[in-house]
Amino acid sequence: MSRPEHINPPELFYDETEASKYHSNTRVMRIQKEMAERALELLNLPEPGSLLLDIGCGSGLSGDVLVDAGHAYVGCDISGDMLNIAAQSETYAEVCQSDIGQGLPFRPGMFDGAISISAVQWLCYSDKKEHVAKKRLCKFFSTLYDCLVRGSRAVIQLYPETPEQMELISSCAMKSGFGGGWVVDFPNSVKAKKYYLCLLAGVDNNNKAPSQLPLALGVSQQTEIEATSRKRVQRKKGRRERGNVKARDWILDKKERQRQQGKKVRPDTKFTGRKRRDKM
């Protein structure tokens, strides 16, 4: 099944028909609610009553979770049809139509935190000639950093397609001043695995550094220790099995592979793989 990002840019993909299907799909509603609740948990807000930013708010599914938890929010999204549905919600908040790749249009220090559900990965795809993924991501993260209170957090849930995308997104965030990193829930599950980029916006007014990243769901400390131990044992076992990897047969096999790859290799002689004398 093709990813939506491969079909059309978000403002075209989420037209009136697709937006209506999205908002009425019970499975989508359940998943979006679960991810928004998890993002809110990762924000680690001290108490209700915060003003939050919902990036890529869509039809307001994640915003409903924020309101139910006692917070106020402002939403932004590029799809006008999605925002039209959000406007009909009972928990409707202030929303604006905005391309986050061109920056967030909010004043500095306006929000106590921010969440984004299934939106930021769209910036990795070039829909127009002038769209450059790295520039758009840096513009987004720099303006996000500016509009957050120092010491607050932003939690970005997304679906990266490749490890290179993960590296690109996180590197742009760090260049914009954020600290933090990835929290991957249920990393050993194909269906339940979820990626959250948990960002820390500097230090607060009391010059206190933000707390460490929270633990991922489905991963215990014991599991991590056991996995590290298994890798160490496997490395030792592999070294014993390989033995002297610089033996003549190993060298001849390697040179033959290089020849098949079209590489320039020195010819084999009686001295190939021969042990050299120790230097005096």
* pLDDT tens-digit profile, the chain (280 residues): 578 888 888 888 888 899 898 888 999 999 999 999 999 999 999 889 999 999 999 999 999 999 999 999 999 999 999 998 888 776 667 889 999 999 999 999 999 999 999 999 999 988 777 889 999 999 999 999 999 999 999 999 999 999 999 999 999 999 999 999 999 999 988 888 999 999 999 876 555 545 577 888 887 644 443 444 455 556 655 555 555 556 788 888 888 888 877 788 888 888 888 777 766 5
Asked if residue 53 belongs to a domain, the reply is: yes
**What pLDDT shows up at residue 249?**
83
Asked if residue 225 belongs to a domain, the reply is: no
Judging by DSSP bridges, how do beta strands 72-77 and 94-97 pair with one another? Answer: parallel
**What pLDDT shows up at residue 229?**
47
**What pLDDT shows up at residue 74?**
93
Contact 114, 75 (CB under 8 A): no
**What pLDDT shows up at residue 227?**
47
Asked if residue 195 belongs to a domain, the reply is: yes
Contact 51, 71 (CB under 8 A): yes
- CA angle centred on 35, ends 33 and 41, rounded to 5°: 105
**What pLDDT shows up at residue 98?**
92
CA dihedral 138, 142, 148, 151 (to 10 degrees): 90
Contact 218, 228 (CB under 8 A): no
Asked if residue 214 belongs to a domain, the reply is: yes
* 130 CB-side CA count, 13 A: 2
Q: Cβ contacts of residue 185 below 8 Å, gap of 6+?
A: 38, 192, 193, 194, 196, 216, 217, 218
Asked if residue 117 belongs to a domain, the reply is: yes
Number of domains in the chain: 1
Rounded Cα–Cα distance for residues 156 and 75 (Å): 14
Rounded Cα–Cα distance for residues 211 and 208 (Å): 9
Question: Which tokens is 270 given?
Answer: 């009686």
Asked if residue 79 belongs to a domain, the reply is: yes
Residues spanned by the domain of 88: 4-218
Question: CATH number of the domain that 133 lies in?
Answer: 3.40.50.150
**What pLDDT shows up at residue 82?**
92
**What pLDDT shows up at residue 222?**
41
Asked if residue 279 belongs to a domain, the reply is: no
